[in-house]
Amino acid sequence: MANRSVVPFGPQHPVLPEPIHLDLVMEDETVIEAVPSIGYVHRGLESLVKKKDFNEMVYVTERICGICSFMHGMGYCSAVEKIMNVEVPRRADYLRTIWSEMSRLHSHLLWLGLLADAFGFEALFMQSWRLREKILDMFEISTGGRVIFSVNKIGGVLKDMPKDMLKSFVAILNDMEKELSETTSVFLNEYTVRSRLEGVGIITKEDAIRRGAVGPMMRASGIEVDMRKTGYAAYSDLDFEVITSDKCDSLARCQVRIGELFQSIAIIRQAVDKIPEGEISVPVKGNPDGECFMRLEQPRGEAFYYVRANGTKFLDRMRVRTPTFANIPAMLQTLQGAQFADVPLLILTIDPCISCTER
Amino acid sequence: MAQFMSFTKTVLKNLISKPATTSYPEVPKEYPQRTRGHVEISIEDCILCGLCMRSCPPGAIHVDREAKKWSIARFDCIQCGYCVEKCPKKCLSIVPGYTKPDSSKHTETIKKEEALPK
Amino acid sequence: MEDIGNNVIKIEQVELLPVIMEKKNDDWRLAQICCAFRDGHYEVSYSFAKGYELTNYRLIVGKDETVASISRVYKSAILYENEMRELFGLGVEHIKVDYHDKLYRIDAETPFMEKEGE
């Protein structure tokens, strides 16, 4: 038996901006086992429910993560609205859908850039992030923030998007679609990229279920589950297919996410066509009492919100199970038996968000 | 041929097109109208009710009814806009322009001059 | 077993493992395990998903009681169970991979529990 050694990976690592911390048990260049430890950026946001009332918690949940901040706020608001039996105006539902899809575009483009960076293709990284910048600008125009949007409130949204703004956004997205197909074709076709991704980090369909993988990770293993199909917000009115792949490797995950980029643009177009006129929020009175489980499809996968209220303005418990937390067991499996040089890439293919995971 | 040289087109395009970045700070950044930069108060309309102080998530706002003072710790403010939404008189607004970096945290205090409406 | 509304089914300790095995054999995936502390007891919620379906099981555990680990059936439960123990101090017996309070490398012990005198 060869000598075993333990190599610490992270929390600070040149390849990953995310502070993930793993201890890799190595045998020569092969990983035998990966032991995760989290807590480097643990802030205990969930326990703030005892100090902030349920309205202020909207702003706290948004700050769980810088990428899916809109969806965290939305998930929490939807859960509280469900407990309080508040019917959100249809226009607010559509606005939330449009912002969610913009978040997905922004998150997947960010991920494509980081992936390119991880296998050393700096120019491709910059191309992806150049496109992402346009989405961030659209966010700033419509919400006033580039990362934290603060447009959700219990009972609807705070800001409306006028017709001209929506039209200009669709025009930007139409232009972007062309550039996007050029950039993404490099990911899918270029020989150098494929040689790093193809056949690496395989998770079979059975493993994906057993390890509880979610989101693109699960869909790349041939499981057709997308929480948007449960019809929250305005998704029940919109037409879209769940994108899956049955190749189960890193390239398949890349393909699924690229497919979702174009799908998001199509969904935004549909939503802009169908958005009804009307109010954007309803007044909410009283305090929530009861409990609710809420599931959303975030860019990284299914996010799980649990809110337990007791009739006072402070909640008993608010729990967020973020997609990365669910994907870690699957990631640990791909790492077993992997080459050391592939480790950063394999960690990246789950699109990790450690701030989400540690909350 | 898609397998090789698929990035060449992008490279050539970049070679002849203008840069995607701007030369900040020579060219100042123009913020959209909705940018949440900092909170401003029109103190004439303020009734010093203290609702903004009680609803501020990070507790950055302080209202002193006795001394007729409204103060905000700029570096604690998270620009969420909850105070703007809560204000009954709509005298708070959130406008573009970020707080300038500083070497120490300071609090900005605005004094209300006239008497409180009876 | 008792349906207590909101898609939650209340179960007893002895029913836990049979329920988990049933779900496992039917190819359900473990969506999450959540722990909450209220009125002097723990509430542990196990959520299972299959396709778009979701079922939740609720276990009430006394403050000094322990709960059996399901990590030998669902490997992904390892993280949730370690998390429960480290944040809430709920005793979980025989976790397959026991991190010994090292999953969250933080100073505070059971930070999500209200300490006495606070």
The per-residue pLDDT for range C88-108, each reduced to its tens digit, is: 877 777 777 777 777 777 777
What's the pLDDT score for residue C117? Answer: 47
Which alpha helices (DSSP H) does chain A contain, by range? 57-62, 69-84, 90-118, 122-143, 163-189, 191-197, 205-210, 216-219, 250-274, 323-335, 343-349, 354-358
In a domain? residue B118: no
Q: Looking at the complex, does the CB of residue A302 fall below 8 Å from at least one CB of chain C? A: yes
CA dihedral A78, A80, A82, A85 (to 10 degrees): -130
Number of structural domains chain B divides into: 1
What's the pLDDT score for residue B62? Answer: 86
How many CA atoms are closer than 13 Å to the CA of B80, on its beta-carbon side?
28
| Predicted TM-score (pTM) of this structure | 0.86
The C-alpha atoms of residue A269 and residue B16 are separated, in whole angstroms, by 32
Query: Cβ of B55 and A142 within 8 Å?
Result: no
Nearest residue in B to A191, CA atom: B3
Confidence grade of residue B51 (pLDDT, cut at 50, 70, 90):
confident
- Per CATH, the architecture of A47-316+341-349 is what? Orthogonal Bundle (1.10)
HEC profile of B87-113 = CCCCCEEEECCCCCCCCCCCEEEEECC
The C-alpha atoms of residue A74 and residue A299 are separated, in whole angstroms, by 14
H or E stretch covering C14: helix C13-25
Residue among C32, C45, C48, C74 with most chain A CBs within 10 A, to mutate: C32
Q: Do B and C touch, counting CB pairs below 8 Å (3 needed)?
A: no
The minimal CB distance from B35 to the residues A130, A144, A158 is found for A144
User: Of A30, A21, A114, nearest to A345 (Cα)?
Assistant: A114
Nearest CA distance, C44 vs chain A (angstrom): 12
Query: Cβ of C76 and A291 within 8 Å?
Result: no
In a domain? residue B68: yes
In a domain? residue B20: no
In a domain? residue B55: yes
Nearest residue in A to B55, CA atom: A56
The C-alpha atoms of residue B59 and residue B66 are separated, in whole angstroms, by 19
Assess contact for B39 and B92: CB atoms under 8 A.
Answer: yes
Q: What are the 10-residue block averages of pLDDT along chain A, 359 residues in total?
A: 80 78 85 81 80 85 84 89 87 90 90 85 87 89 86 86 89 89 84 82 83 85 85 84 85 89 90 87 83 86 86 83 86 85 83 79
Complex ipTM: 0.81
Domain C2-93 sits in CATH 3.30.460.80:
yes
Residue among C58, C76, C103, C115 with most chain A CBs within 10 A, to mutate: C76
Query: Cβ of C75 and A210 within 8 Å?
Result: yes
What's the pLDDT score for residue B118? Answer: 46
pLDDT digits (tens, 9 = 90+) for C26-39: 888 888 888 888 77
Query: Cβ of A182 and B9 within 8 Å?
Result: yes
Tell me, what DSSP letter sits at residue A53?
Answer: -
What's the pLDDT score for residue B117? Answer: 53
Distance of CA C6 to the CA centre of its chain: 18
What's the pLDDT score for residue C95? Answer: 75
Pairs of residues, one from chain A and one from chain B, whose beta carbons lie less than 8 Å apart = 66
Nearest residue in C to A309, CA atom: C38
The minimal CB distance from C106 to the residues A42, A292, A317 is found for A42
Mean pLDDT of chain C: 79
What's the pLDDT score for residue A212? Answer: 81
Residue among A33, A317, A328 with most chain C CBs within 10 A, to mutate: A317
Q: Looking at the complex, does the CB of residue A20 fall below 8 Å from at least one CB of chain C? A: no
What's the pLDDT score for residue B116? Answer: 52
Query: Cβ of B4 and A142 within 8 Å?
Result: no
Give the domain ranges of chain A: 47-316+341-349
Q: Give residue B97's domain range.
A: 30-111
| Radius of gyration for chain A, computed over Cα atoms and rounded to the nearest angstrom | 20
Q: Looking at the complex, does the CB of residue B35 fall below 8 Å from at least one CB of chain A? A: yes
The C-alpha atoms of residue A170 and residue A265 are separated, in whole angstroms, by 8
Taking contacts as CB-CB distances below 8 angstroms, the residues of chain B near A191 are: 3-4
Confidence grade of residue B81 (pLDDT, cut at 50, 70, 90):
confident
Domain with residue B63: its CATH number is 3.30.70.3270
Give the domain ranges of chain C: 2-93
Taking contacts as CB-CB distances below 8 angstroms, the residues of chain A near B9 are: 182
Taking contacts as CB-CB distances below 8 angstroms, the residues of chain A near C38 are: 308, 310, 316-317
Share of chain B above pLDDT 90, in %: 0
Taking any CB pair shorter than 8 Å as contact, residues of chain C touching chain A are 6-8, 27, 29-32, 34, 36-38, 43, 45, 47, 49, 51-52, 54, 56, 74-76, 78-79, 99, 102-106, 111-112, 114
Mean pLDDT across the stretch C51-59? 84
Calculate ∠ Cα A333-A12-A199, nearest 5°: 30
